[in-house]
Amino acid sequence: MTPQLPERFAEQAEKFPPELRALLDAELAAGNEVIDLEFGRGPDKGKVALVVRHPYRAATPGSPPPGLSYFEITTRNPQIFVFRSSDERFSLVAAKFKPMVLQPLPRLSDPPTPKKLPETKKPDAPVLSAPATPGAESAKPQAAGKDPDAMRRFRASMVMDYEKWHDGIGYDLGALDELSEPQVREIERTLISHQPRDWRDIEALAYIDSPRAREVVEAALKSSDAKVRAEAMRHAGDKADPKGRERKLIASLKKDDIWGGLSEAIDEVEEFHPPAVIEQLFRGALNRDGEAAVHFAALILFLHGKAKEPFDWDHRPFFLRFNTSDRAERKAVFRELCERVGVDLSKYRQK
């Protein structure tokens, strides 16, 4: 018997075409469950996706049933696996997180035995540190930090789940303020060695702001991961090499998708758009998949002063015409785009 869906999920599942609904029912019968509902925004308005908690249990990734398409993003964390209806309006999404490599905690030497507290102290008062060595001007920082639970809280915040990924929740930076200096250095080493590197690692290292952490943040300006690079730009943009930044941005515009870094690249183009980047926007509007081409066309219109914002809804019907697999239609709307912004069409080969 197929488990009953909560009302807000069931309402959308009823709209699924039969092929996709059958796939969903098979997942539910196999013990999977729906945990989230996604509504498309911007050019994707009207699209709906249901997200299941576990990797597919009944469906076979890479082998879509007739009437459905399939794609996946396996170069990011989490890995995304999507079955989609032929009209691209409805999707079933599963995510799988790559294991995180965390460095083990170092063994701590046995702490010194504290001296007996004076009788005037409360007998149950916690001993936070050993008394200072006689003659020392001041005690060293406490090894345990201000909050004994802070280290556990920060490490727990590094364990990614769907909700944290979906909502863009970073690590618990507040916990860093509760750590002792040795503990901060330990977390710093963990963040630096963490693979695959996440934008959250860069945010936390920028928060620590030690000389070594700053080096890693600045090095991330050259990352091939657009999300990592975008986070590094927030904290060390003044250190970016313009030519290197341009190359990375063009590479992202060529191959990334909305879920895998293209959104961050588009945001970056708004304020950094040398001629080679603008040219790649035009080539992408002509040759890339429909979803990317829609956003490229919107950005081109904005950067040429023909739209009020990077995705101007007053021009949305025009942008959506780029979301087509019909080559003749794409060439026609691309020609119109060039005319609107006054760009010579002949420099772009229309294959």
d(CA 86, CA 45): 17
At residue 51, φ and ψ (nearest 5 deg) are -110, 130
Residues 6+ apart with CB under 8 A from 273: 281, 303
DSSP for 23-53? HHHHHHHTT--EEEEEE--GGGTT-EEEEES
* Torsion sign (Cα): 308, 332, 262, 82: positive
- To the nearest 10°, report the CA torsion of 80, 85, 86, 89: -90
Only one residue has tokens 């509007």, namely 285
pLDDT for the residue 188: 95
pLDDT for the residue 4: 76
d(CA 284, CA 288): 5
pLDDT for the residue 17: 93
Give me the amino acid identity at 339.
E
What's the full length of the chain, in residues?
351
Per-residue confidence of the chain (351 residues) as pLDDT tens digits? 556 788 888 889 999 999 999 999 999 999 899 988 888 766 677 888 898 988 898 888 878 889 899 887 765 556 788 899 988 889 999 887 655 544 444 444 444 444 444 444 444 444 333 334 444 433 334 455 677 889 999 999 988 776 677 667 889 999 999 999 999 999 999 999 988 888 899 999 999 999 999 999 999 988 878 788 888 988 988 887 788 888 888 988 998 877 667 888 888 888 889 999 999 999 999 999 888 899 999 999 999 999 998 888 889 899 999 988 899 999 999 999 999 999 888 877 655
Closest residue by Cα to residue 103 from 166, 38, 155, 65: 155
With a threshold of 0.85, does the pTM exceed it?
Answer: no
pLDDT for the residue 297: 94
